[in-house]
């Protein structure tokens, strides 16, 4: 091995040693961000049945939603003359229309169906009152019980 080769090998070895020493003294640090998202959750109480002519309440509780979000409850199926259709238990051909009103007496319609907006804090309960009234019935309406169901649309946005 000539002198040039010896010098080159010695320089390379020294550089490798120096580099290794440098890494050992200053370990590389890699940052990693830890994130977690707790999904929004809440409970809505809806009336299981609604007695026409009586008030009933819709409420929200255990609301755990992100700041700025709102839970909205709407009447979802006001498709029958802006109300819902009740049908006679005894005679399915006999029907009537029931409309819903807020506490101020304003009628809900298919386009104005927002019952309430809740931004309640946890461990609090907020409620709102609605009322159902018969809107129209045939002159030939038969006596007996009438039934129908309301579907509440619930959205958090």
Residues that bind other proteins (CB under 8 A): 39-50, 56-57, 59, 65, 69, 71, 76, 147, 149-157
Between CA 133 and CA 153 the distance in angstroms is: 20
Q: How far is the CB of 109 from other proteins (least distance, A)?
A: 18
User: CA–CA separation, 118 vs 105, rounded Å?
Assistant: 20
* Residue with smaller CB distance to other proteins, 8 or 125: 125
**Contact present, 65 and 71 (Cβ < 8 Å):** yes
47 vs 91, beta carbon nearer other proteins: 47
118 contacts 63 by C-beta, under 8 angstroms: yes
CB 136 within 8 A of CB 86: no
Q: Give the residue from 40, 45, 38 showing the smallest Cα distance to 61.
A: 45
Q: Which is nearer to other proteins, 137 or 152 (CB)?
A: 152
Instruction: Report the nearest approach of other proteins to the CB of residue 12 (Å).
Output: 49
Smallest separation (angstroms) from other proteins to the CB of 127: 10
- Minimum distance from residue 142 beta carbon to other proteins (Å): 19
Q: For other proteins, which is the closer residue by CB, 28 or 157?
A: 157
User: In degrees rounded to 5, what are phi and psi of residue 112?
Assistant: -125, 75
């Amino acid at each position: 091995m000539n002198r040039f080769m010896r010098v080159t090998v010695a320089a390379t070895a020294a550089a490798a040693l120096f580099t290794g020493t440098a890494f050992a003294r200053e370990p590389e640090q890699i940052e990693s961000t830890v994130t977690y998202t707790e999904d929004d959750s809440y409970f809505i109480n809806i009336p299981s049945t609604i007695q026409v002519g009586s008030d009933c309440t819709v409420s929200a509780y255990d609301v755990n939603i992100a700041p700025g979000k709102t839970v909205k409850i709407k009447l979802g199926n006001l498709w029958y003359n802006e109300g819902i259709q009740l049908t006679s238990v005894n005679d399915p051909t006999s029907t009537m229309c029931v409309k819903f009103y807020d506490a101020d007496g304003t009628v809900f319609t298919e386009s104005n169906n927002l019952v309430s907006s809740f931004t309640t804090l946890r461990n609090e309960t907020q409620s709102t009152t609605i009322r159902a009234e018969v809107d129209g019935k045939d002159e030939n309406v038969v006596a007996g019980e009438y039934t129908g169901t309301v579907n509440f649309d619930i959205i958090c946005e």
